[in-house]
Amino acid sequence: MSIYVAEFLGTFLLILLGGGVVASVLLKNSKAENSGWNTIVITWGIAVTFAIYAVGKISGAHINPAVTLGLAFAGDFPWEKVLGFIIAQISGAFAGATLVWIFYIPHWSATEDKLKKLSVFSTVPAMRSYIHNFVSEMIASSVLIFGIFFIGINEFTEGLNPIVVGGLVVLIGYGLGATTGYAINPARDFGPRLAHYIMPINGKGDSDWSYAFIPILAPILGGFLGASLYKILYEQEYLLKYWIVIIVAVLILTTAVYKSFNLEKK
């Protein structure tokens, strides 16, 4: 199996299982309907673990453009492979979301809430505020990439690493995921959102493209930030590009705090 097919397959499995659990919780007449946030967060973490087991030894199981770009930015992955990885990841996410739609076909017509239907495919913020949603995704994604780096420097019993990474995703879901639904993965949001837009889903609403840039750009910047922090703190590499990323992130955080104070005054 080629590395690109592996990235397609890994991301496909991630979205099939992750999107599938969201559908089971949100769609009407599912036996898991209303089973809640715990079910979603834990299953997404297990889905990540399963996807890594499936293709980790073939492609490294990035299954996330933010991971691919973060590793390339840090000099740990060749830039010439980045575009192929990202195309494979988005394609796999689209295919996985399409199969989720097919799997739950009887339930779409039974579900009236258009926002719940969209939420099966893409992330929807709990409170819409672009700057704050961006910060949430940026921080959560930086923790993901930073965590992947420092997990990698530890030696585990063979086969344990995917479980640890899955656990990290569960922690992010619980600790940092409730504001935006923690995309932390541009392919995870864009591929399924595209599937929602294209597929003839019964009773669907708008695909909310006005929000789509947040779960694309914020995880990428978060990936650069997590990689930069790791390289500076753990490997004492003080390259200018790392400091530029940190400065940009601080400016965005400062803007979010400033806007928060203005909102409180109003």
CB-count burial class (<10 Å; 0-12, 13-18, 19+) for 109 = exposed
Residue 156 has pLDDT above 90, yes or no: no
Domain hosting 136: range is 3-265
| pLDDT one-digit tens code per residue, 131-155 | 999 999 999 999 999 999 999 877 6
Prediction pTM value: 0.95
Check residue 264 and give its pLDDT: 59
Non-local CB neighbours of 15 within 8 Å, separated by 6+ positions? 92, 93, 95, 96, 97, 100, 188, 191, 192
State the CATH number of the domain containing residue 137. 1.20.1080.10
| pLDDT one-digit tens code per residue, 176-232 | 999 999 999 999 999 999 999 999 999 999 999 999 999 999 999 999 999 999 999
Nearest to 221 by CA among 184, 260, 179: 184
Non-local CB neighbours of 104 within 8 Å, separated by 6+ positions? 20, 23, 24, 27, 30, 120
Residue 265 has pLDDT above 70, yes or no: no
Residue 110 has pLDDT above 60, yes or no: yes
Into how many domains does the chain fold?
A: 1
The whole-angstrom distance between residue 232's C-alpha and the CA centroid of its chain comes to 24
- Residue 192's CB is within 10 A of a number of other CB atoms, namely 30
% of the chain with per-residue pLDDT over 70: 97
Whole-number Å distance between alpha carbons of 105 and 123:
20
